[in-house]
Structure 1
Amino acid sequence: MSQDESPLVYLQCGAHTYPDGTVGMHDIEFSVYPDEVIALVGGNGAGKSTLLEHLNATLVPDDGELVVDGTPITEENKAHARKEVGFVFQDADTQLVAPTVLDDVMFGLQNYGVPGDEAKGRAREALTTVDASHLEDRIPHYLSGGEKRLVGLAGVLVLEPRVVVLDEPLAGLDPERSRLVAERIHQIHEDGISVVLSTHDLEFAAEVADRVCVMADGNIIGRGTPSEVFYDDVLLDEANLHPPSSVRVARDVGLDATVQPVTEDDLVALLTDIAVDSETIQTRSLDGSGHD
């Protein structure tokens, strides 16, 4: 990721007000750059879903603009935003509409006029990408929550977007299904697609994100790398969030404040290094090799 590049998506939103008068978001400026994963974190009602739905023009700001891959989005060219920015909804049933999984993944391509055999081939490739080829003849309604999430992701990837947006991708999933979805997110990022996701799970955000944006009351109140955000107690308190467990453990064991692990793997590696160094010092002291 380099922010010297032009953003793939740029959103400026002075406000978005729902029909009942609720202000879902205000004073937002948000960009997505090539080759990055962004996690939006915050409590219920913070505005995460509202922001995400602006990124592909599902919602439009009352006052502001959306620019996708250099093109300002208007009522006339919303299709451009929806092709370049694929959206996987939290409730996967809202985007699973066809009688079989394969038909469902082909659906978007057929809307764009892609011939049947080509659409079928590309749909199978997309299912392979998310490790869901074995589901192609299944009826979407009878899939598990995790399987539906993967099929929804395949239906987005088949259109070859520059950015994939996922609203609470782990919501309602058991640990094994969560792991599978997280692995697929890593995979699509490695394939060169930028990812924006919302999550309540700060452990997950620490694992996958290059940047974290903290939301509260319809606004972004802080942003930065995972270590910058998750070691900022004032910011997390303002958003009513608790830091990931690795951050809490690092503080509890008194690690140097300049060392800031945010994931379990980071913490284990760091503590292992400290243990090895300590053992080496003790061994040298006992055998006298530490003296001239």
Structure 2
Amino acid sequence: MSRDETPLVRLRCEAHTYPDGTVGMHDVEFDIHPDEVVALVGGNGAGKSTLLEHLNATLVPDDGELVVDGTPITGDNRAHARKEVGFVFQDADTQLVAPTVLDDVMFGLRNYGVPADEAKQRAREALATVDASHLEERIPHYLSGGEKRLVGLAGVLVLDPSVVVLDEPLAGLDPERSRLVADRIRQIHRDGISVVLSTHDLDFVTEVADRVCVMADGNVVGSGTPREVFYDDALLAEANLHPPTAVRVARDAGLDAAARPVTEAELVALLAGTGEVETLQATPAGGSEASE
């Protein structure tokens, strides 16, 4: 994938220190390019959420710069960053503020002065994009966790951002709702929006990410394609991560190291070709946990 084009977002953060003195991030250089899905992975406290919140100027570097769509972001134009870089928080309740779902999705548009009728139409289109039209008259705080994530996503998409950022989008969701949210993430990427997400679910990362950035101790310590990152034992050890399921099973099965499957589909195809499908079937059900 060519990276000659100007990034949609460019963050340079020499340091970000929280009021209690905790260093949340340091020496970070992070770009988001058109038409990509980037996954941030790392242990708890690695700095993933801190980095994400810098991408739309929710947090600002103590020393550094954020450039969004060619525009340096200052204290006077943070609204530009927040329009171009939509943020869906892990705790969806923090961004659900209106009495009904439709009102909530309209909220940002109305703040930008969009007339009510146009805002309502665009909100309904955004809800349809995430397959949540049936929720428009519901009270947001009575929704399930997965439904709240979809509504939060619609509230971001309605502003027509260049980038959508999601902090732990699958956290706390059951498998069916996780699948639904994951499908919507794939759909918005197909619609031409770049996506940045943090997650502990490395199996999910192998299915959706073009690029993986590994964080440890407040810094990006390595990056590459899922195949490059998840077969780099030293990098995973530095970040205290275990490889995804397909990588572990491939190694346990003694498969050709050059093949390096990372997704379940790649692993099944490889095992089928070598007559070792039973190895995959014998994998314990608990073996799907991808990280700690």
TM-score normalised by the shorter chain: which range applies?
A: over 0.9
Q: Distance in 1 between matches of 2:113 and 2:233?
A: 51
Q: TM-score, normalised by structure 2?
A: 0.93
Post-superposition offset of 1:238? 0.8
| RMSD of aligned Cα (Å) | 1.2
Aligned equivalents of 1:96 and 1:164: distance in 2?
Answer: 17
Alignment correspondent of 2:124: 124
State the identity %: 83
- Corresponding position: 1:262 with 2:265: no
Aligned residue for 1:180, secondary structure, equals helix
Rg (Cα) greater in structure:
1
Deviation per residue, 1:177-220 (Å, 9 max, x gap)? 00000000000000000000000111111111000000011001
Q: Which runs of 5+ in 2 are unaligned?
A: 278-292
Equivalent position amino acid for 1:46 in 2: A
Show CA shifts across 1:29-57 (max 9, x none): 00000000000000110000000000000
C-alpha separation in 1, matches of 2:273 and 2:73: 51
8 Å contact kept, 1:2–1:34: no
Q: Answer yes or no: is 1:239 the counterpart of 2:239.
A: yes
CA contact (8 A) 1:95 1:152 kept: yes
Kindly provide the amino acid, as one letter, of the partner of residue 81 in structure 1. Answer: A
Q: 1:210-261 CA deviation, whole Å, 9 max, x = no partner?
A: 0000001100111000010000111101111000010001111111111111
Q: Which runs of 4+ in 1 moved over 4 A?
A: none
> Does 1:98 pair with 2:105?
no
Q: CA deviation at 1:271?
A: 1.6
The aligned residue for residue 43 of structure 1 is 43
Q: What's the counterpart of residue 166 of structure 1?
A: 166
Structure 1 equivalent of residue 136 of structure 2: 136
- For 1:180-259, list aligned pairs within 5 A: 180-259=180-259
Deviation of residue 273 (structure 1)? 2.6
Matched AA of 2:27:
D
Is structure 2 residue 5 aligned with structure 1 residue 5?
A: yes
**Ranges in structure 1 where 5+ consecutive residues have no aligned partner:** 279-292
Q: Which residue of 2 aligns with 1:89?
A: 89
In structure 2, C-alpha distance between the alignment counterparts of 1:97 and 1:30, rounded to whole Å: 31
Alignment of 1:51-90 (within 5 A): 51-90=51-90
Matched, 1:19 2:19: yes
Contact 1:127 1:133 in 2 (8 A): yes
- SS of corresponding position for 1:7: coil
2:177 & 2:18 partners in 1: Cα distance?
33
Inter-partner Cα distance in structure 2 for 1:130 and 1:270: 34
Aligned residue identity for 2:197: L
CA contact (8 A) 1:106 1:119 kept: yes
Aligned length: 277
By how many angstroms is 1:266 displaced?
1.2
- Counterpart CA distance in 1 for 2:56 and 2:62 is 15
Say if 1:247 and 1:262, in contact at 8 Å, map to a contact too: yes
Distance 2:51 2:58 in 1: 10
Partner in structure 2 of residue 288 of structure 1: none
**Post-superposition shift, 1:272?**
1.9
SS in 2 for 1:24: strand
Helix, strand or coil for the counterpart of 1:170? coil
Q: Distance in 1 between matches of 2:35 and 2:265?
A: 22
- The residue identity in structure 2 corresponding to 1:73 is I
User: Is the Cα–Cα contact under 8 Å of residues 55 and 85 in structure 1 kept in the other structure?
Assistant: yes
- Tell me the amino acid that sits aligned with residue 84 of structure 1: E
